[in-house]
Structure 1
Amino acid sequence: MILSVRDLRVSFRTNDGLVRAIDGVSFDLKESEILGVVGESGSGKTVSLLAVMGLITDPNATIEGSIRYKGRELVGLPARELRRLRGNEIAMIFQDPMTALTPVYTIGWQIAEQIRAHRNISKSKAMERVEELLAEVNFPNPHEAMSRYPHQ
């Protein structure tokens, strides 16, 4: 198992008391499998996966249960160690593509910034990698696409 989530519970302290957003989610993901999470709006899809990614930083949040990636427990792992995993080994595609990219920067610049955040490489090497990645997902004319803005 590459990812094993057991009895995941996420709660938030509010002025009105404790709100349990996730109550006992469990799933396993084997290497090369793809997980698609579906459900009604407000059902906890995003909160569950933000917890898996270690992206819930709200001081009023409590995360319980077990999230094991390649046998390593992620719940309670320091933010610095989680940051090393994110983007290098673990990633997610958010459900709203229109808010995934910032409209004032080119597609190439934004992808290159993410590559450089996780790899010690030059801007030019990162841009080469952006072009390769766009080609891998069959983007038409990847070199030209890199200089476009998300709305284009």
Structure 2
Amino acid sequence: MLSAVKGLSRYHTEESLRAYLLQRSHRTESGCLVVHGYGPRRGVHQKVAGRAWAHIAAYVVLVGDYDPTLDVDRTCGAADCIEPTHLRQVSRSETCRTRSQSAQCRNGHDRELDDATGRYRRVCRACNREAQRRWREREAAEVAQARASYGRT
């Protein structure tokens, strides 16, 4: 079953991987079993035991009955949680349907609702406008530099 997990080190057995994951994790007040992967950040998806996602490896060794065609989802919403009771396998469409979207983009602008889907637009208009402005400035600078190199003004 471990061979179905992409990126997992081939040197692990189910017992050694279970011990490895439990050694690198701790329980929080909310009941999540949080794993510490290769990165120092908390609250993001973690990779362990080679380049395998921790929640997928945990599902294989702690829950079992893994189907590689389905996604492993967390009911708690914590990206670094490997608690077996919080893990479940769902289809990709179910994962996308239940994914929450923030009302602001990463720069703090309010997102607009898309009339066709009823969800927030993927690209913030204010950020897109600013990115296009910066691109036009870079292009104008390149044109000005090229003209200057040919002796034109």
TM-score (norm 2): 0.31
Q: Normalising by the residue count of structure 1, what TM-score does the alignment of the two structures yield?
A: 0.31
Answer with 1 or 2: which has the greater Rg.
2
Instruction: Give the structure, 1 or 2, with the largest relative contact order (CA under 8 Å, sep 6 or more).
Output: 1
